[in-house]
Amino acid sequence: MDIDLSADDLAFRNDVREFFSSNAYKPGTDYMAWRSEWFGKAAAKGGWDVPKWPKAFGGPGWSPTQHYIWEQETATATLPFDMPFGVGMLAPILMGYGSKEQQERFMPDIRARKVNWCQGYSEPGAGSDLASLKTKAELSADGKTYTVNGTKIWTTAAHMADWIFCLTRTSDTGKRQEGITFLLFPMKQPGIEVKPIITLGGSHTVNMVHITDVKVPVENRIGEEGQGWTYAKGLLQHERTGLAGISRSLVALEKLKEQAGSIKRGNGSLMDDPAFRAKVAALEVDLLALEFTELRSLAAASAGGALGPESSIMKLKGTEIQQRIAKLTVEAGGIYSAGWGHPVGPKFARNGMAGYLSSRAYTIYGGASEVQKDVIAKNVLGIKSGKK
Ligand SMILES: Cc1cc2nc3c(=O)[nH]c(=O)nc-3n(C[C@H](O)[C@H](O)[C@H](O)COP(=O)(O)OP(=O)(O)OC[C@H]3O[C@@H](n4cnc5c(N)ncnc54)[C@H](O)[C@@H]3O)c2cc1C
């Protein structure tokens, strides 16, 4: 595995750094104006507004190494706020399985960040075991309209969304996975009720969504009826790799060292405390090992290999590392971390506890850790299930 960057890759990295620094947000200026200008300029660079889209759909068509460089540079840059649901999740499904009409209808607004989307997969009785979802979509006798009824849960940003991409059940017979249909419909219409769920960290990001007799024209169905599971599943490996957040963790770890270095302990700082130092060192070793795992899969992808079950390893270990960093940040802040935003003690400690509590979700969404372990056991270690 050759991890040295070529002259072309180094030139690309300089270009990315230059773009990020010359288009950085200037505090006190109109954020939304800056955001739309930023995406416009990124588009003019040749698809930098949609880095992961293929060239055929207006993306930059980067090599795996260029993607890696972009990812690393974004960890330290201030990028405009951007939810993953449209550009990162629905667009690839439209590219792979949507009709030409659907691509033309939905993709320009997704790319322009004009329409906010949310993901309606999980239900009160269907999380890890998603195939047991019950939200029902019944096709009318004339075959033109579905009527949708059911409840979705943990729907991130549903309260801000204009549209939802939703897994629904159209058949109860045969294999459970084969009766699932992928539908798109607007959120702002009668029959859709969004109820907030406030998380442990005190924020409102997730919701319960009740859907009652919502009519969805058949033109809003992606692909074939009953094939929604296949479309939704294809994306999961990519979603998981993205959730590993390795470059962000590298930056967060450096910050943690700086913060702990600012806390006095005896004649030195908390970073001189052997017990705390040992925890930081162990974290650093694990993060380095994970970074090399990512580089190994990058080398394989550069040589034409496909993304395999290592996405589960990266999701599992990457999110555990993020949680350990959040936990050590609380430890570094000591009693001040319990202050929940009160202006006492070191500044970094004020949001430490909220950050730590929010981090509990990292090992749940995008596929819970236990489920990732199952995938690794079966597909990497070759362990057969004990199920008969
Ligand atoms: C902050 C947050 C945001 C989310 N955003 C969205 C969203 O936008 N859209 C959406 O559709 N969903 C979203 N989700 C839902 C998320 O995908 C589910 O929470 C996740 O799939 C787990 O499902 P569950 O919560 O029903 O837990 P369950 O599946 O009931 O799991 C409960 C526990 O049992 C364990 N478990 C389950 N199955 C197995 C098994 N086979 N072997 C061993 N252990 C097992 C799990 O690991 C877990 O510890 C979000 C969740 C969170 C926390």
User: Ligand 1: does its nearest atom lie under 6 Å from the Cβ of 301?
Assistant: no
User: Ligand 1: does its nearest atom lie under 6 Å from the Cβ of 154?
Assistant: yes
Ligand 1 centre from 387 Cα, in Å? 22
pLDDT at 25: 95
Ligand 1 centre from 367 Cα, in Å? 6
Q: Which atom of ligand 1 is nearest to the CA of 119?
A: 9
Going by alpha carbons, the residue nearest to atom 14 of ligand 1 is: 154
Ligand 1 centre from 160 Cα, in Å? 22
pLDDT at 341: 73
One-character DSSP codes across 284-305:
HHHHHHHHHHHHHHHHHHHTTP
pLDDT at 366: 87
Ligand 1 centre from 127 Cα, in Å? 4
Indicate whether this model's pTM tops 0.85: yes
Going by alpha carbons, the residue nearest to atom 12 of ligand 1 is: 122
- Identify which of 133, 103, 148, 160 has the alpha carbon closest to the alpha carbon of residue 229: 133
Ligand 1 centre from 121 Cα, in Å? 11
pLDDT at 379: 87
User: Ligand 1: does its nearest atom lie under 6 Å from the Cβ of 155?
Assistant: yes
- Identify which of 228, 219, 146, 138 has the alpha carbon closest to the alpha carbon of residue 182: 228
Report whether 149 contacts 212 (CB < 8 A). Answer: yes
pLDDT at 196: 98
The burial of 321, by beta-carbon neighbours within 10 Å (0-12 exposed, 13-18 middle, 19 or more buried), is given as buried
The series of mean pLDDT values per 10 residues for the chain, 388 residues long, is: 81 97 96 97 98 96 91 91 94 96 98 97 96 97 98 98 98 94 98 96 94 98 96 72 84 96 95 97 96 83 71 92 97 89 87 92 94 91 74
Rg of the Cα atoms in the chain? 23
The burial of 368, by beta-carbon neighbours within 10 Å (0-12 exposed, 13-18 middle, 19 or more buried), is given as middle
User: Ligand 1: does its nearest atom lie under 6 Å from the Cβ of 374?
Assistant: yes
Instruction: Give the number of C-alpha atoms closer than 13 A to the C-alpha of residue 148, restricted to the C-beta side.
Output: 33
User: Ligand 1: does its nearest atom lie under 6 Å from the Cβ of 206?
Assistant: yes
User: 100-118 in b/e burial notation, b at 16+ Cβ within 10 A?
Assistant: eebeeebbeebbebebbbb
Mutate to test the pocket of ligand 1, among 130, 152, 319, 365 (most ligand atoms within 8 A of CB): 365
Ligand 1 centre from 76 Cα, in Å? 30
Ligand 1 centre from 365 Cα, in Å? 6
Show Cβ contacts of residue 7 under 8 Å, excluding neighbours closer than 6 positions. none
pLDDT at 298: 77
3-class SS of residue 152: strand
User: Ligand 1: does its nearest atom lie under 6 Å from the Cβ of 121?
Assistant: yes
CA–CA distance, 16 with 25 (Å, rounded to integer): 16
Structure tokens at 195: 């109820």
CA–CA distance, 62 with 197 (Å, rounded to integer): 39
Check the CA dihedral 180-184-187-190 and report its sign: negative
Ligand 1 centre from 197 Cα, in Å? 15
Dmax over CA atoms of the chain, in Å, equals: 80
pLDDT at 388: 47
Q: Which atom of ligand 1 is nearest to the CA of 126?
A: 26
